[in-house]
């Protein structure tokens, strides 16, 4: 797990950059969402801003998903660039978010900011709730549903 001590880092500079490689087990994606098979390459750039920080992320990687229609496993590229604001958990009981502040993530500990958790959050946001292997994917016709083994398939194409 990558933890950054933002307090310490920004004592001496006002911009932090880093490149990371996250192994699938580092991210620990919930298995019902999808499966990471390859490491993720992540570049982050963090700058301080009033009351928090701005985190710019470049994520490169892909996730294996199951198509919600035909149930085929397919690989989806989840590479993206994202810029979000992080700030401390609000301590006041009334919290008012302006529309422009909706892309805000909160951190608990400025001295141990959980970068891995933020990346996990971003990956989960990239995963569609109803994944489709292709936009044209149609539910499998009933006549094909019975084809589950190679033998069935060969019978189907009249080889046997």
Q: Which of residues 55-74 bind Zn ion (CB under 5 A)?
A: 67, 69-70
Q: Which is nearer to Zn ion, 32 or 93 (CB)?
A: 32
Least separation, in Å, of the C-beta of 139 and Zn ion? Answer: 9
Q: What is the DSSP string of 49-60?
A: ETTEEEEEEEEE
Map residues 95-134 to x or -, x wherever contact with Zn ion holds by CB under 5 A: --------------------------------------x-
Least separation, in Å, of the C-beta of 71 and Zn ion? Answer: 7
Least separation, in Å, of the C-beta of 18 and Zn ion? Answer: 37
Q: Which of residues 21-40 bind Zn ion (CB under 5 A)?
A: none
Helix, strand or coil, per DSSP, at residue 23: coil
137 near Zn ion, rule: CB under 5 A: yes
Q: Which is nearer to Zn ion, 52 or 131 (CB)?
A: 131
Q: Which residues contact 38 (CB under 8 A, 6 or more apart)?
A: 24, 61, 62
Dist CA 46 CA 56 (whole Å):
6
Q: What is the DSSP string of 37-105?
A: -SPEEEEEEEEEETTEEEEEEEEE-EEEEE-TTT--EEEEE--EEEEEEEEEPP-SS-----GGG-SEE
Least separation, in Å, of the C-beta of 83 and Zn ion? Answer: 32
Q: Interface residues with Zn ion (CB under 5 A)?
A: 67, 69-70, 133, 137
């Amino acid at each position: 797990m990558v933890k950054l001590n933002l307090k310490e880092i920004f004592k001496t500079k006002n911009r932090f950059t880093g490149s990371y490689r996250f192994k699938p087990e580092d991210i620990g994606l919930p298995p019902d969402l999808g499966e990471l098979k390859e490491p993720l390459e992540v570049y982050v750039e963090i700058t301080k801003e009033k009351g928090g920080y701005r985190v710019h992320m470049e994520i490169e990687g892909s996730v294996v998903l199951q198509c919600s229609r035909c149930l085929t496993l397919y690989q989806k590229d989840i590479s993206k660039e994202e810029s979000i604001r992080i700030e401390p958990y609000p301590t006041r009981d009334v919290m008012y978010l302006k529309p422009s502040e909706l892309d805000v993530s909160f951190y608990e500990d400025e001295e141990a900011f959980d970068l891995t958790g933020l990346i996990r959050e971003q990956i989960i946001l990239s995963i569609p709730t109803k994944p489709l292997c292709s936009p044209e994917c149609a539910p499998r016709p009933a006549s094909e549903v019975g084809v589950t083994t190679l033998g069935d398939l060969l019978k189907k194409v009249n080889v046997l």
